[in-house]
Amino acid sequence: MLLNPIDVIPADQVGPVHFIAAGGSGMSGVARLYAQLGVKTSGSDQSDSTALQGLARAGVTTYVGHAPEQLGDAQTVVISSAIRSDNVELVEAKRRGLRIWHRSAALAALMLGKRGVSVAGTHGKTTTTAMTAVMLAEAGAQPSYVIGGPLSTTGVSSELGTGPAFVVEADESDASFLQYPTEIAVITNVEADHLVNWGTPQAYADGFRAFATRPTVQHVIINVDDPGSRQLAEDLVGEARHIVRYGEAPDADVRITDVRPEGNGVSATISYGDDSGRIVLQVPGNHNLANASAAYAAGRLLGLTHEAAVDALGRFEGTLRRFQLITDTAGIRVFDDYAHHPTEIRAALTAARRATEAGNEATGLSGRLIACFQPHLYSRTVDFADEFGEVMTLADIAVINDVCGAREDPIPGVTGELVVDAAKKHGAEEVVYVQEKYDLPAALNDIAQPGDLIITLGCGDVTIVGPLLADILKERPDAEAR
């Protein structure tokens, strides 16, 4: 389902507001800001979570489970695209004739009067949004922001600042990104996804063009290393008001050159106009240099100097679930990553391979890279099963879980075994299928040896596996957590 933009009123005029599924990664950050603004805010979710508990600490009245009476005196009810029409709270809101907003409308209402920086793209949105927000905050610009995942340093994904900039992660999956009052549009890449909503790759690409040419957009920051976004940049000539190209390509306005590993991170020379110098990141991978280039460009357009932008980006420590170290126990490192599209998984496994090799050089061991992947959504598994299988060949051992269906109903015959079969077809060295996610920690423990690096991959509940595995690893002889 694709959304159409609607007119919104300022957030402080919506009256008491209730969020359905408030603990979701997208919803919780917005709900937190309404409470921070002083609006009476409540929210419910099907199950308890750290996000829901965090909202309670932030002043949101929270409920576990859904019930009509939990709407209280709400005048506005906020939903996401995952909420089904028969949800009892949504049914009650319609019965009462309350204002019902999609999450994107609720966020757009918060952005009114601010300089909106909306970060879109098939991959890299969360990290680029987080880098931009942290850069501005570290440079003293006091931005407002809503990120799709919590910052590793603060554990929160949103903040209501006093400065002029409002940085948001702009989701393209349901056309939410067309809702925001965007001044600076950032496009990290364009590669077909969410075709259950968009229908065709061309329609998906056309959505990004519509995003870049919204009436409020004054600047488009776009990645010219990615074929899809490069084509869009060429198509936008004469349409968008001002285009800033970034990447390693020779025609990039913000250009990255001389890339080098730097401890656990990466460094490069970044150049823009007459300004040039080294940028050193604490997070690894060329993809993060690309993300930092986009954030840098946004910072410069918002008035930061070259030195201030580079220095502030060097303090970025990452977001949760983006190559996040869960444990280093018994000589086995366990990371967790949100990657769920073949291109994202390729970037994560490439970074993990470098980390594995660096670990082997440091310890003298012959550690292996073990990828534990949970496919997300039945429709995406159908669309990309072959690509998932091919990218699993980057690991020494691939452990595949069953599909996390999330908001979708099962499709007959679509299971994680489609990925297993594809991986074997593409010549994966070793592939293991573990259907039940709660069996994954024990299975990984049986496979793992000292020196190995394990990375769990997926945007579903595979995130539980790392901490559970960490507890098991602590029971190994001579285990020492770091």
**Quick check: is 257 catalytic?**
no
Residues 6+ apart with CB under 8 A from 407: 81, 82, 377
Strand partners, 280: 267
Strand partners, 144: 166
The pLDDT of residue 209 is 96
Query: Which candidate in 169, 191, 344, 390 is catalytic?
Result: 169
The residue assigned the tokens 């699993």 is 392
Work out whether the CA dihedral 295, 234, 118, 340 comes out positive or negative: negative
Residue 1: count other Cβ atoms within 10 Å of its Cβ: 8
Tell me the Cα Rg of the chain.
22
DSSP H helices in 58-186:
88-96, 103-111, 125-138
Locate 363 and state its tokens.
Answer: 């310890």
Nearest to 71 by CA among 106, 20, 108, 116: 20
| pTM of model > 0.75 | yes
Q: Distances from the Cα of 262 to the Cαs of 199, 265, 416, in angstroms?
A: 42, 5, 37
**Quick check: is 417 catalytic?**
no
Nearest to 323 by CA among 154, 457, 469: 457
The pLDDT of residue 481 is 59
The pLDDT of residue 208 is 96
Query: Which candidate in 62, 76, 126, 329 is catalytic?
Result: 126
Q: Is 249 exposed, middle or buried (0-12, 13-18, 19+ CB in 10 A)?
A: middle
The pLDDT of residue 389 is 96
Query: Which candidate in 41, 62, 76, 125 is catalytic?
Result: 125
The residue assigned the tokens 């198509």 is 235
Q: Phi first, then psi: what are they for 208, rounded to 5°? A: -65, -35
The pLDDT of residue 405 is 86
**Quick check: is 216 catalytic?**
no
Q: Return the amino acid letter for 279.
A: I
Q: Which domains does the chain have, with CATH numbers?
A: 12-102 (3.40.50.720), 113-313 (3.40.1190.10), 324-473 (3.90.190.20)
Can you say which residues are annotated as belonging to the binding site for ATP?
121-127
Q: In this structure, are strands 332-337 and 324-329 parallel, antiparallel, or unpaired?
A: antiparallel
The tens-digit pLDDT sequence of the chain (482 residues) is 788 999 999 999 999 999 999 988 789 999 999 999 999 999 999 888 888 999 999 999 999 999 999 999 999 999 988 898 999 999 999 999 999 999 999 999 999 999 999 999 998 899 999 999 999 999 999 999 999 878 877 778 899 999 999 999 999 988 999 999 999 999 999 987 877 888 999 999 999 999 999 999 999 999 999 999 999 999 999 887 899 999 999 999 999 999 988 877 899 999 999 999 999 998 888 889 999 999 999 999 999 999 999 999 999 987 766 788 899 999 999 999 988 889 889 989 998 998 898 888 878 888 999 999 999 999 999 989 999 999 999 999 999 999 998 778 899 999 999 999 999 999 998 999 999 999 999 999 999 999 999 999 998 889 899 999 999 999 988 776 55
What 3-state class would DSSP assign to 3? coil
Q: What is the DSSP string of 347-395?
A: HHHHHHHHHHHHHHHHH-----EEEEE--B-HHHHHHHHHHHHHHGGGS
The pLDDT of residue 217 is 97
Q: Is 354 exposed, middle or buried (0-12, 13-18, 19+ CB in 10 A)?
A: middle
